[in-house]
Amino acid sequence: MSPSSEAIDIGRVLAWAARPRESPARHDEYHRVVTRYRSEPDFAAAVDAVFAGAGLSLTVDERDGIIPVASPDSPLRVTVSDVMRRAQPHHRAAIGAVVLAVARTAYPEASMLDDPDRVAVFTTQSVVDTLDRAAQAHADSASQDGALDEEQVEAWRHWLAVGEARANAQRRSPSDRPGLVNRVCRFLAEAGYLTARGDTDGGTWLARPRFRHAVAALCEDSDLYALTNGLGELTSGDGSDPEAGFAPRRAGSRHGG
Amino acid sequence: MPDDWGMPAEPIEWDITIPTDDASIARRRRALAPIQVLTDIERTKTSLDGDYWTRYDLFNIALAVIDQVALAMSISAGRTWEETVEYAAEQAARQVPDADRSQWQAVAERVVVSLVTTDVETVPYLVHAASGPQWLAQRFRLLYVHARGEDGSEYLRASEQAINIFVEALDLDIEAAQIANEAQLSALIARGAVESAVQIARHARYRSIQYQERIRRIVADTLIDPDAHDWLGDVPVLLDGALAHVRERLDAEAVLLDAVAERRCELADRRRLDAANMLIELLRECRHRHDELHAHLITARTRLREALDDRFTRAPHSAHRVDLAADLLGPYLTRTTPECAALADRLLAAVGGLSARWLPPLSVLTGELCAPARAPEPGEEYIAPLFGDQDEQEWWEPYEDTTDAIFEGISEPVRLSLLVARADQIAREVCDADGEPLDAGLLAASLVHAAHRAWAARLAGRSAGDQVVVAAATGDHFDTGLLRSADLLLVPGTVTADIAEPAAGRSDATHPADWDDEEEAPAA
């Protein structure tokens, strides 16, 4: 293959990476670039380098397609503001907790992240229950009330402060727990990771196979682990300096499928 | 996934008293758990929204759904979500024919979702170990979504545990049971008891499905993690055993088919003839299943070898993974608000995909919005449109609210130019949702618009006692540099008599200011 055909194919990888609802099985072109990525290490390295420049790392799976994972400072990443406009800090904290709870509810066991056949089905209510239980565990072991300073209040107190579902509410608002979960799930559905399946228990969601690749990337992010557990310095998360170099967090992995 | 089908490792003792730590008790406890799920679906229905749930028997519908899914299963396929919900809705309709479709649909979805989401939670149970009582967690599923099919199509399949409910056997070696079944079958056919043979053949069909599901699961587990099974010892033995089993079953089924076909010629009784035909049908289906299983097993070796090759070239667990609950969700909840807010962005960056919203040109967007709906291609995934239902205020709402408040506060005639002059001061005092003061220019514009609406105040449909503000032109103009407008006089008033709506269809020739028509909502 000539170098120019390589450049063209890198562009195609980018184009398909931005189409999360498509799968290689439905498009010959998509299938071809995925196969090329998986079988030609030089091509894969070139693709990874281009994407690393945009702050993206790729997981390429024969069946699930190309799953891009953005680094925290990539200009192409999505932010909390994309989920909820003008979110206040305590909203942001709750949204992060919901993202983790959705991942946890879809994959309650670590081994499920390796199961290419797993298509998790979960309800909004089960995500709320997961978070309620996790927050309640902290509440039970907490010996005193939260700090007066809004900045010092822990996230679990925020979650417990979010209103419970209103009975027979005709529409959900993000000011109650199921509404907030649905807001995040709808967003993930737009991103191609979930599919909505009816309204039972506040909403039924189906996690498409590609979601497990993204969640696996989350679990492999050692910086995230360090920050979450208070082992590292928190940098500004608002990406105020998008020109800073985005180091790819992990090499493009080509396993799976 | 715990494997229910392991050979009992403990020695069999012929003891009369069975202690609760007996292995068979623990095994049955685990095998009965799925039935508890079915009972719970039925038991908790009264707590659901809506008063119609008592009219339905959800347990029955759940059983029928599992049965339907199990019978549709082959190695790669099953029943789609839509088909399953549709089937469940039909069953609901059979139970309560006078209800409407949306109710049947709600019942159907409730049952299917309950069956599919069982493995979100673990079921705790108690065993007695050598060291004393010990709690273990069981995770099982009844129906599950399976993304097979090369095009990523999704099917619902029934798990071994679910099929077990139908086999009525809670502590069972499937192969032994299968052989016993066939012995029973040939004996019954030899004696001409074709109806009983049909019952047994139905039973045998569930066993075949169960066997097929077990083999599929073992092969799938091995593909995920080749170390999950012993490659040198157990797996080849298992595959050889399975192949031998399938070959024997195929032979046995061929013999049975011949036997039944032979007996059929001798049958004169219409009813028994039908039964014999049904038996042949069932046996053919079993043979088809075994053929399929056979093909799957033969290719399984190649696929397993490929998985192993793949494993040598790239190790699947090259990166260490942390636990979602213990290492991320738990600690996250203990962080302070600003820390969490920063982490939330990081989380969304990882699982949010690309934010590449390449917007089309306006002309293309308009064209797409106005185009007739495109019929989906066959097999295309249908994605229901998502509507954002947001309670957040739109940016202009504070302006409209402020304008309304100013108009409500008018107690004596006032010129528009005076109100606009006060806009600066009011804008400074009122805050929007973010706590920012309003923009004076926008507020002035909003006031001018509202005043012109009052110029053509809609009075129809108002009743006596309503407070209204009407505007009248003074002939003067004002110009603030930002705004140039006719100066209107705003006069508060009270409606003294009910004003009827104009008759429908009348052309409104007497409308005071027809240039303002579209400003008026029909029922202002």
Mean pLDDT of B40-54: 80
Give SS3 for B144: strand
Cβ within 8 Å, pair B353-A20: yes
A107 touches chain B (CB under 8 A): yes
Among the residue ranges A186-190, B76-80, B193-197, the one predicted with the least confidence is B193-197
Buried b (16+ CB within 10 A) or exposed e, B10-27: eeeeeeeeeeeeeeeebb
Q: What is the pLDDT of residue B356?
A: 60
Nearest-angstrom CA–CA distance, A164 and A166 = 6
Separation CA B300–CA B147 (nearest Å): 18
Distance between CA B91 and CA A170 in Å, rounded? 28
Question: Of A224, A153, A236, which is closest to residue B333 (Cα–Cα)?
Answer: A153
Spatial distance between the Cα atoms of B290 and B254, rounded to a whole number of angstroms: 11
B220 touches A: beta carbon within 8 Å: yes
The string of pLDDT tens digits covering residues B316-338 is: 555 678 888 888 888 888 888 88
**A212 close contact with B: CB closer than 8 A:** no
**pLDDT winner (highest mean) among B133-137, B238-242, B417-421:** B417-421
* Top-confidence residue, B388 or B432: B432
> Are the beta carbons of B344 and A254 separated by less than 8 Å?
no
CA dist., res. B47 & res. B54, Å (int): 10
Residue A73: both structure tokens together: 């400072």
d(CA B46, CA B54): 7
d(CA B369, CA A200): 31
Strands B155-158 and B132-138 turn out to be unpaired
Chain A contacts of B116, Cβ < 8 Å?
A: 121
Q: Which of B148, B287, B167 is nearest to B216 (CA)?
A: B148
Query: Can you give the pTM of this predicted structure?
Result: 0.67
> Is B224 an 8 Å CB contact of chain A?
yes
Contacts of B476 by beta carbon, 8 Å cutoff, 6+ apart: B417, B486, B487
CB contact A209 to B (< 8 Å) = yes
- Burial of residue B265 (CB within 10 Å: 0-12, 13-18, 19+) is exposed
DSSP letter for each residue of B457-473 = ---TT--TT-EEEEEEE
Within the 30-69 window of chain A, which residues sit less than 8 Å (CB to CB) from chain B? 56, 63-64, 68-69
**Is the ipTM, as predicted for this complex, more than 0.90?**
no
Best of B148, B321, B390, B397 to disrupt the A interface (most A CBs within 10 Å) is B321
Sign for the pseudo-dihedral over CA of A136, A137, A143, A146 = negative
Asked if residue B127 has pLDDT above 80, the reply is: no
d(CA B389, CA B387): 6
The pLDDT score that the predictor gives to residue B174 is: 57
The answer for B435, left when phi > 0, alpha when psi is -120 to 50, beta otherwise, is left
What's residue B179's pLDDT?
A: 66
For B453-491, write each residue's pLDDT tens digit. Answer: 888 887 888 888 888 888 998 888 888 888 888 889 999
Q: What angle do CA A247, A253, A256 make, to 5 degrees?
A: 155
Q: Give B-chain residues touching A176 at CB under 8 angstroms.
A: none
* Residue B513 clears pLDDT 50, i.e. is over it: no
**Which residue of chain B has the CA closest to A21?**
B381
Alpha-carbon distances, residue B94 vs A51, A222, B68, B404 (angstroms): 56, 55, 16, 55
- Report d(CA B499, CA B491) in Å as an integer: 19
Predicted confidence at residue B495, as pLDDT, reads 86
Q: Taking CB atoms and an 8 Å limit, are B350 and A70 in contact across chains?
A: yes
| Out of B333, B354, B384, closest to residue A68 by CB | B354
pLDDT band for position B517 (50/70/90)?
very low
* CB pair distance less than 8 Å for B85 and A198: yes
Q: What is the pLDDT along chain A (257 residues), one digit of tens a residue?
A: 555 788 899 999 988 988 888 888 888 899 999 999 988 889 999 999 999 998 898 989 888 889 999 988 888 888 888 887 777 788 888 888 999 999 999 988 887 888 777 888 898 888 998 888 888 888 888 777 666 666 777 888 878 887 776 555 445 566 788 888 888 898 898 888 888 887 787 788 988 888 988 998 888 888 888 888 887 665 544 443 333 444 444 444 444 33
- Report chain B residues whose CB lies below 8 A from the CB of A76: 354-356
Q: How far is CA B316 from CA A43, A178, B253, B355, in A?
A: 21, 36, 42, 29
